Structure 1
Amino acid sequence: MPYTPPPDLAGLSLAEIAELSASRQLPPIDEWDPPETDHSKMRIAADGKWYHDGGQITRPAMVRAFASLLRREEDKRYFLVTPHYKQEIEVEDAAFIAVDCKHIEDEVLAFRLNIDENVMPGPDYPLRAAGDADTPAIYLAFRHGCEARLDRSTWLQLAEIALQQGDGTNVTSQGETFSLSPE
């Protein structure tokens, strides 16, 4: 079955983004607790590219499929989880990359991830500032304990929104205020 990418984030309304997010059917990996087996021989590089046994996974559909099985445990290790297997996967920085941002109706931010999924920061998906003043990094919480790091252009989009909302150091989404200054 061919994959149809979602529409451009800039052209979507808040209701359309919420509908796209809600319509995504994901496996119930939080309900699965198989025994840990061995390493998956997979790695997610800091730039968001996925690798298996040293070779890049170039099929976006495969990356999206694996992403739907990814979970970060309390010990900060990442696993691909199925009903019968749990294999560790190396993640160099964040599991995903936020590649676009939109400010909707002055109340909600929406981000598009490199796996063609949308996330709206708020109480369930907070933004986190890390790094330092010279090399800041903004992370967005995502499902199953994973995070998405904002790429440079998305970080700049967010900084512009912060300037529009106030002094440029905070942004608000779904009633939550998030600092863009590293701690």
Structure 2
Amino acid sequence: MPYEAPPQLADMSLADIARALEERRLPPIEKWNPTETLDSKMRIAADGTWFHEGSPISRAAMVRAFSTLLVREEDGSHALLTPQCRQTIKVEDAAFVAVDVQRKGDALAFRLNTDDLVLAGPDNPLQARGDAEVPAIYLKVRHGTEARVNRSTWLQLVDLAEDLDGVPRVSSQGATFPLVPQ
């Protein structure tokens, strides 16, 4: 069955996004505890491009499938999990890239480079790193993984921000996040 990309984020209501998140079937990797560990020979570049043995993975459907198996370990390393095997994967910066954001009611909805949708909030916080001159914004995705907010999406966030005590901040689902490191 061919993959059908979700509609543009701007065209979706908060109810549409919530429904899409509910309908997304992810593998139950939190229940898996594989004993074998291998090197996947894969790497995720800082720009979100996935590579296998040095060559880019050009099939978006494969990247989407692999991304559902991705976890970030407590030591900061990443792995792809199956019930039988943990395969290490090198991640240069963040596993995902946030490529769009829209305010939907009291929530900030993000689209990732894998077409995943994520609602920022207490369960998926935004974190500012770097410094005030060159901030880097990260969004928690799932299983410890993060998405780095790309430049155009960061500019969208700045447009949505309120200046509180001289610090630009955005709020989503009752949580407030600074857009510069504190």
TM-score (norm 1): 0.96
90-99 vs 130-139, which deviates more? Answer: 130-139
Which amino acid in 2 is paired with 1:180? L
1:88 pairs with 2:88: yes
The CA deviation string for residues 79-127 of structure 1, in whole angstroms up to 9 with x for no partner, is 000000001000000000000000112x111000000011001110000
Q: How does 1:26-41 map to 2 (within 5 A)?
A: 26-41=26-41
96-105 vs 35-44, which deviates more? Answer: 35-44
Q: How does 1:73-152 map to 2 (within 5 A)?
A: 73-105=73-105, 107-152=106-151
Q: d(CA) in 1 for partners of 2:160 and 2:12?
A: 17
Please report how far the alpha carbon of residue 167 of structure 1 lies from its aligned counterpart in structure 2 after TM superposition.
Answer: 6.2
Higher strand share: 2
Which amino acid in 2 is paired with 1:113? L
Relative to structure 1, the CA distance from residue 74 to residue 153 in structure 2 (aligned partners, 3 Å threshold; closer, same or farther) is same
Relative to structure 1, the CA distance from residue 103 to residue 167 in structure 2 (aligned partners, 3 Å threshold; closer, same or farther) is farther
Please report how far the alpha carbon of residue 74 of structure 1 lies from its aligned counterpart in structure 2 after TM superposition.
Answer: 0.8
Q: d(CA) in 2 for partners of 1:148 and 1:97?
A: 5
SS across alignment from 2:66? helix
Please report how far the alpha carbon of residue 35 of structure 1 lies from its aligned counterpart in structure 2 after TM superposition.
Answer: 1.6
Which amino acid in 1 is paired with 2:74? E
Please say if residues 159 and 168 of structure 1, whose CA atoms lie closer than 8 Å, have aligned partners that are also in contact: no
Q: d(CA) in 2 for partners of 1:157 and 1:168?
A: 16
User: 1:179 maps to which residue?
Assistant: 178
SS across alignment from 2:46? coil
Q: d(CA) in 2 for partners of 1:112 and 1:25?
A: 17
Which amino acid in 2 is paired with 1:15? A
User: 1:54 maps to which residue?
Assistant: 54
Q: d(CA) in 2 for partners of 1:163 and 1:122?
A: 16
Q: What are structure 1's unaligned runs of at least 5 residues?
A: none
Which amino acid in 1 is paired with 2:75? D
Please say if residues 160 and 168 of structure 1, whose CA atoms lie closer than 8 Å, have aligned partners that are also in contact: no
Q: d(CA) in 2 for partners of 1:60 and 1:144?
A: 21
Please say if residues 99 and 111 of structure 1, whose CA atoms lie closer than 8 Å, have aligned partners that are also in contact: yes
Which amino acid in 1 is paired with 2:5? P
Q: How does 1:162-177 map to 2 (within 5 A)?
A: 162-163=161-162, 169-177=168-176
TM-score (norm 2): 0.96
The CA deviation string for residues 39-87 of structure 1, in whole angstroms up to 9 with x for no partner, is 1100000000000000000100000000000001111110000000001
Matched positions, count: 182
Name the Cα RMSD after superposition.
1.5
